[in-house]
Amino acid sequence: MQDVADFAAMLTGARPQAMAALLRYFRDLDRAEDAFQEASLRAMRNWPEKGPPRDPVAWLVFVGRNAVVDGLRRQARQVALPAEETLSDLEDHETAVAARLDEADYRDDILRLMFICAHPELPPTQQVALALRIVSGLSVAEIAAAFLAKEKAVEQRITRAKRKVMDAAIPFEAPDAVERAQRLSAVAAMIYLIFNEGYSASGGDSHIRKGLCDEAIRLGRLVLRLYPSDPEIMGLLALMLLTHARMPARLDAHGEIVLLEEQDRSLWNRALIAEGLALVEKAARHRTAGTYQLQAAISALHASARTADETDWRGIALVYRRLEELQPSPVVRLNRAVAVFKADNAAQALELIEPLRDQLAGYFHFHGVHGALLKELGQHDAAREAFNRAIALARTPAEAQHIRQRLDELSEERARIAR
């Protein structure tokens, strides 16, 4: 006996492919949405009674298309099509639609649907809102709750985004290899935005935020199933899985963030880690490293250490160096320096971050790391100065507290030497 939740999951699973097919048919986002919506309503009435169809995607496309075409004809006072309930040979129609779906190379249609939401002309917040609405099928209320925004604002955001992408008129022809790669890369970035929206816990309902991470992972798996040999998509999915695996250990009982090295690793999700590690290795076989793969490789090295002490910091430092070559940025350099420091080379780490002094002058972590390095190298006065700067820039009480402990250690050290 299947219940409502099972049918809802069936609809969610079928949505990207069905929406992509409906969009190809109608060439209009709103009409495709109406068609899917109508088909879903009929599915929820029909399926519990008659049992779900063998091919839910084909059923939804067929029924949705007919519902909208029927509505249009009625408006034009033409003869209506028979309702799907009265069709005795729906199975045959389904098969025919399914065959056409295969022929039409639905992969590029789904990619196109997702690319619409990841269009470079859309600002990140509009991309995420549009993708959650169109591809994932979240309601405006659900998206508003995730963003801590008013429903009306989200509604407007989605409407504006739709208008912009419709104006951009993305062609329906199958893309060439270069265009396909560009679309994939934009879609990957959009999926990662959704993930980070869920992961960077800046308030809001934690359950909904976790849902966004799950959703991003679901979309990542979908894209990888469509394009199974793309190592950067493997890297993206691995990065999300390995990061999400640590979620259960990330907050303490008071909702404060627990640093990676202090997390209870027995809480990490082993199934997600197994999947993530396999993907990192699979991607590495292609020997074309990209930024998602390298970030995933760093997460993989953390995930493979049973205790914080067993962490392969030397390996992590090497991957950061590759990452910095591909994507130079002060924050990557800072993280690389931390890895070098943990791999027992404080002097080299200090050398790495010295040039960042101006760029990261307003960044809490820079001063925290700077202070820790100076302290390690015995430059206590300079260390104290750096820690004081860090405290002034701390965003949470936990961050400030962490630095205060370091300052206390410095004071104890001084007292010990004075004795």
Partner 1 sequence: MLYAVLCYHDEAEVDSWSAEQDAAVVAKRGAVAKERLRPEQMGPVLRLVPTSAATTIRSSGKGELVLDGPFAETKEQLLGLYVVECDTLDEAIELAREMKRGEGGAFEVRPLRVFRQGALPAEVEVG
Contact residues: partner 1, CB under 8 A: 5-6, 9-10, 12-14, 16-17, 56, 218, 220-222, 224-225, 228-229, 234, 237, 270-271, 274-275, 277-279, 281-282, 285
Q: Which of 45/225 has CB closer to partner 1?
A: 225
Question: Which residues neighbour 217 within 8 Å (Cβ) at sequence distance 6 or greater?
Answer: 195, 237, 240, 241, 244
C-alpha distances in angstroms, 160 versus 130, 166, 269? Answer: 10, 10, 39
Shortest reach from residue 284's CB to partner 1, in Å: 8
Return the closest-CA partner of residue 16 out of 180, 175, 163, 187: 187
Return the closest-CA partner of residue 296 out of 232, 340, 343, 341: 232
Shortest reach from residue 300's CB to partner 1, in Å: 11
Q: Which of 247/403 has CB closer to partner 1?
A: 247
Shortest reach from residue 275's CB to partner 1, in Å: 4
Contact 308, 261 (CB under 8 A): yes
CA distance linking residue 100 with residue 102, whole number of Å? 5
CA distance linking residue 333 with residue 348, whole number of Å? 12
User: Long-range contacts of range 320-325, CB-CB < 8 Å, 24 or more positions apart?
Assistant: 322/289, 322/294, 323/291, 323/294, 323/295, 323/298
Shortest reach from residue 208's CB to partner 1, in Å: 13
Q: Which of 248/330 has CB closer to partner 1?
A: 248
Shortest reach from residue 115's CB to partner 1, in Å: 19
- The tokens 């002490």 sit on which residue? 309
Shortest reach from residue 269's CB to partner 1, in Å: 10
Shortest reach from residue 21's CB to partner 1, in Å: 14
Q: Which of 139/411 has CB closer to partner 1?
A: 139
Shortest reach from residue 227's CB to partner 1, in Å: 9
CA atoms within 13 A on the CB side of 309: 0
Joined together, the tokens standing for residue 161 give: 């985004």
C-alpha distances in angstroms, 16 versus 47, 124, 171, 193, 251? Answer: 19, 20, 18, 18, 33
Per DSSP (E only), the strands in 161-292 are: none
Contact 137, 12 (CB under 8 A): yes
